[in-house]
Every structure is written in structure tokens, then in C-alpha cells.
Amino acid sequence: MQIAIDQTTLYTLIKKAVKEAIEEEEYKLFLAHIPEVSDEEMQEIERIHGKPGEKDVAHSVTVQT
């Protein structure tokens, strides 16, 4: 079975797939470098900034690991 596809369309599909893969890896790398906080630090953060969920989400991304 052969599928005919022009070079521009193929290039666009490959470019999009590579871009998505790189973005996923960047997010994984970013998340891997966020340090964990102790219970005391978390309580202080919540005291200063409020508990999570009390503010509107500015940006959210789901990354499968």
C-alpha cells in the first residue's frame, strides 16, 4: 500500500511531531528540577500566598511521564 504525500506536507507533519516531542521533554526536564519543600516551608508558602486552588490558574499543561 502506498500513500502519496507532497514534500511540503510531509515536512510540516515531521516538524510538528518533533516540536511536540521537544516541548514534552522540556517540561519533563523543568519539572524534574523543581526542588521539593519541607512541611514547614509549605506552611509558610501557604501563609504568605494562600493555599493552592484559591486563585485562578494562569497556565496549565499536562505532561505524561
One digit per residue, the tens of pLDDT, for the chain of length 65 reads 788 889 999 999 999 999 999 999 999 999 999 988 899 999 998 899 887 776 677 788 888 87
Report whether 24 contacts 63 (CB < 8 A).
Answer: yes
Distances (CA, A) of 37 to 12, 31, 34, 57: 42, 14, 9, 21
Handedness of CA 23, 24, 27, 32 (dihedral sign): negative
pLDDT on residue 63: 84
pTM: 0.52
Report whether 53 contacts 19 (CB < 8 A).
Answer: no
Residue type for 49, please? Answer: H
